[in-house]
Copies of this chain bind each other. A is one copy, B any other.
Amino acid sequence: MAKENTSMYIILGLLEHEDLSGYDIKKKIDFMISHFWEIGYGQIYPTLKTMEENGMITKKVSETSKGPEKNLYSITDSGREVLKEWLLLPEAKEYTKYEILVKLFFGKLVSEEENRKRIELFQERHLQNAAIMKMFRTNLEQVLKESEDHLYYYLTVLFGEKIYNAYIEWAKEAEELLGKKNENDNLHKGDNE
């Protein structure tokens, strides 16, 4: 058995709620979870296979009236136990890799324009992400008034929004700082003329 295998627990968690195919699982993850944990098909299908072999889930081939045939998976009691045990364990610390910061860290080696462009693109990407999260949050808030079923989902969306906003704020400040540097450069240029 694997050591961590968070993908497996994500699949278990989703199946605890409803029966799903590998394809469905991917869609759910992309929509609700991918902002803090991405998984590809290359991980999902093999994992489903070993999970079935280990008795955590069962497969039934569903002959839908239309479309290709689906493998529908259901969680077993054993799977439910494995999931709950895992949920009680302390989690590993978050795992973040920001290639943009590595490149910026060595920013002296390229032109300032290059660095500024990089930060702008980063900011644009995350303005979009922040907008998506805000939309999700607003929709969820309507639903939360009636029942708190989605409270934990809401917490993850809130997290996403906060982080993306922090990215955007940083990008603004970073651009200002580079701009200030430019002004100084120009002043000094003026001194020498």
Contacts and interface: CB of A to CB of B under 8 A. Distances in A.
A158 B181 contact: no
Given A148-B181, A170-B158, A99 B106 contact: no
A179 B33 CA distance: 24
A179 B105 CA distance: 41
Interface residues of A, number: 62
A105 B166 contact: no
A99 B109 contact: no
Contacts of A49: none
Contacts of A177: 151, 154-155
Contact of A98 (B83, B88, B94, B184): B94
A162 B168 CA distance: 10
B33 A105 contact: yes
Contact of A91 (B32, B103, B153): B103
Q: How many copies of the polypeptide does the oligomer hold?
A: 2
A99 B104 contact: no
A152 B96 contact: no
Contacts of A143: none
Most-contacted residue by chain B among A16, A115, A166 (CB, 10 A): A166
Nearest to A91: B99
A87 B110 contact: yes
A118 interface: yes
A135 interface: no
27 contacts: A10-B102, A13-B102, A36-B97, A37-B99, A37-B101, A83-B109, A88-B110, A88-B114, A93-B125, A94-B98, A95-B96, A95-B99, A96-B97, A101-B159, A104-B156, A105-B152, A105-B156, A108-B152, A115-B152, A151-B177, A151-B178, A151-B181, A158-B170, A158-B174, A159-B174, A163-B166, A163-B170
